[in-house]
Amino acid sequence: MTTEARQLYQKLLAGDRRAAARLISMVEDGAEGASEALQELHRHSGRAHIVGLTGSGGAGKSTLACRLAQEYRSAGKTVGIICVDPTSPFTGGALLGDRVRMQELSGDPEVFIRSMGSRGALGGLSVAINDVINILDAFGKDYILVETVGAGQVEIELVKYAHTCIVVTMPGAGDEIQAIKAGILEIGDIFVVNKADRDGAMHTLADLEMMVETKPGADQGAWKPPVIATVALEGDGVADLAVEIARHYEFLKDSGTLTRKTVERMKAEVLAILSLKVSDAAARALQPGGDASALVDRMIARDLDPHGAAEELAAKLKLGGLSGP
Amino acid sequence: MAQKVRVFLCKPGLDGHDRGVLIVGQALRDAGMEVIYSGLKQTPENLVEAAIQEDVDVLGLSILSGAHMALIPRITDLLKERGAADMTVLAGGVIPPADAEVLIRDHGVARVFGPGTDTRDIVAYIKERLEA
């Protein structure tokens, strides 16, 4: 292990916030030594309750996360918050503004807030989020709130990592409820209608309750997602939400679902890391001058089709191709 | 993978003007950096804690209130205390040249960008400094 990595994880376990922050950067940058430190940290993780918050931009996820964190802090619990915002696919840059909505938390050393750009590929983001969750878990946070924007693949990924997934919406979103029906419904353990002091809140609440009631497969003994009205800005409904989150965690434990979720999460983590490594190794091999660049030439000459090339490449990669830098 | 430049743009003190700092933020983002914005009216203590949690390379302090000689030294002292003096501190806003000189000479500020600065100069400065 590099000296830097060893020092970092030792300091991290001793409660050094700068070390935790540094290690997160190393993970995000794919820096050397990060995975060694993660190996050591793994045995210290597995204690936190991971709560995902998703929903479209403007629904109030950041404010809600802030209020939830305050609720947990007043109960003496520690909190980690991961805010993921989109990275521009064109410039690679990102404006990360979630902290602006969490000002009441800043200055509290027991709340660790980290803003992440979604950066490159989807697979890479999954790996990075997972690693950051594990770092904050090993760092001793009781609750880890993960906030992602928009409805899409990343949110579906999120459910693999979160014990409890909260879908946040707001009144007057109209079409959004339709969008929610098309995939987010399946992942929501709790639905929140935020900004519930606005016109149309009752309507949105009723819509969601109807969806939950008619959700296919809602047989006896299964978890029935509660629908909660909040006004995050004022803190209304946040205590109720915290109660439901705790109730869901108890349900997971009592029903044995927690163990199943942990198994699924571990599998998903391994697969995400492995597919990233395999595709990196394959991309390197296919580059001009790479071990398998001849495959490309043969494909261009119509000698070989992509499926055949993939087979040959897979055979090649077995010969230690996975252990690249 | 290359190391991504992370910049924390801060509004310390009682100053409600953030048009300038947000324009700088856009320029840095468009130059491929990750830009974190603090929001208005932050205390030096909160900003330094946030800078550490976010593990940024650069702190950009925007001050138009005239309190720069009180706020900036407090921030750079705190960074030193927390072992984070390696972060590059830049300042901008309304800071007279004589004050800028003192901030750079005595208080760990790398550079002061005054009104009228071309955002490309800020981008170029950060890239050059972090690559060096």
Judging contacts by C-beta atoms under 8 Å, the chain A residues touching residue B83 are: 18
* Nearby residues of A107 by Cβ (< 8 Å), 6 or more positions away: B43, B45, B46, B49
Contact A193, A230 (CB under 8 A): yes
Contact A302, A311 (CB under 8 A): no
pLDDT beyond 60 at A198? yes
Query: The whole model's pTM is what?
Result: 0.90
For A99, which of B32, B36, B52 is closest by C-beta distance?
B36
Split at pLDDT 50, 70, 90, the class of A3 is confident
For B49, which of A28, A31, A106 is closest by C-beta distance?
A106
**pLDDT tens digits, one per residue of A35-86:** 888 988 999 999 999 999 988 778 899 999 999 999 999 999 999 999 988 8
The Cα of A110 is separated from the nearest Cα of chain B by a number of Å equal to: 11
Helix, strand, or coil (residue B114):
coil
- Best B6, B8, B35, B36 residue to mutate vs chain A (most A CBs within 10 Å): B36
Mean pLDDT of A209-213: 84
Instruction: Tell me how far apart the alpha carbons of residues B70 and A55 are, in angstroms, rounded to a whole number.
Output: 41
CATH of domain B6-131: 3.40.50.280
- Between residues A276 and A296, the one the model is more confident about: A296
Calculate helix-pair angle for A17-29, A3-13, nearest 10 degrees. 130
- Between residues A148 and B99, the one the model is more confident about: B99
Instruction: Tell me how far apart the alpha carbons of residues A89 and A86 are, in angstroms, rounded to a whole number.
Output: 9
Place of tokens 């330094």: B48
Residue of A nearest to B3 (CA): A29
Angle at the Cα of A48 from the Cα atoms of A45 and A50, rounded to 5 degrees: 115
Q: What b/e string do you get for A234-263 counting C-beta neighbours within 10 Å, with b at 16 or more?
A: eeebbeebbebbeebbebbeeeebbeebee
CB contact under 8 A, B54 and A22: no
Per-residue pLDDT of chain B (132 residues; tens, 9 = 90+): 468 999 999 999 998 999 999 999 999 999 999 999 999 999 999 999 999 999 999 999 999 999 999 999 999 999 999 999 999 999 999 999 999 999 999 999 999 999 999 999 999 999 999 986
Q: Is A169 exposed, middle or buried (0-12, 13-18, 19+ CB in 10 A)?
A: buried
Helix, strand, or coil (residue A257):
helix
Edge-first strand listing for the sheet containing A164-169: A111-117, A79-85, A143-149, A49-55, A164-169, A190-193, A227-229
- Best B3, B4, B28 residue to mutate vs chain A (most A CBs within 10 Å): B4
Please give the single-letter amino acid code of residue A233. Answer: L
Measured CB to CB, residues of chain B less than 8 Å from chain A are 1-4, 6, 25-26, 28-39, 42-43, 45-47, 49-50, 52-55, 82-84
The Cα of B120 is separated from the nearest Cα of chain A by a number of Å equal to: 15
For B32, which of A17, A25, A92 is closest by C-beta distance?
A92
The Cα of A240 is separated from the nearest Cα of chain B by a number of Å equal to: 29
Instruction: Tell me the residue length of chain A.
Output: 325
pLDDT beyond 90 at A277? no
CB contact under 8 A, A99 and B84: no
Contact B103, B91 (CB under 8 A): yes
ipTM confidence score: 0.91
What per-residue confidence (pLDDT) applies to A279?
Answer: 85
Distance from first CA to last CA of chain B, Å, rounded? 18
Split at pLDDT 50, 70, 90, the class of A180 is low
Mean pLDDT of A262-270: 89
* Nearby residues of A265 by Cβ (< 8 Å), 6 or more positions away: A160, A161
Domain borders along chain A are 1-44, 47-255, 269-323
Q: What's A47-255's CATH class?
A: alpha beta
CA distances from B23 to A12, A281, B28, B68 (A): 36, 40, 9, 20
Contact A114, A24 (CB under 8 A): yes
Instruction: Tell me how far apart the alpha carbons of residues B64 and B78 are, in angstroms, rounded to a whole number.
Output: 21
Contact A12, A20 (CB under 8 A): yes
What per-residue confidence (pLDDT) applies to B25?
Answer: 96
pLDDT beyond 60 at A22? yes
Average pLDDT, chain A: 87
CB contact under 8 A, A119 and B4: yes
CB contact under 8 A, A91 and B31: yes
What per-residue confidence (pLDDT) applies to B110?
Answer: 97
Split at pLDDT 50, 70, 90, the class of A111 is very high
Token couple for A128? 């990075």
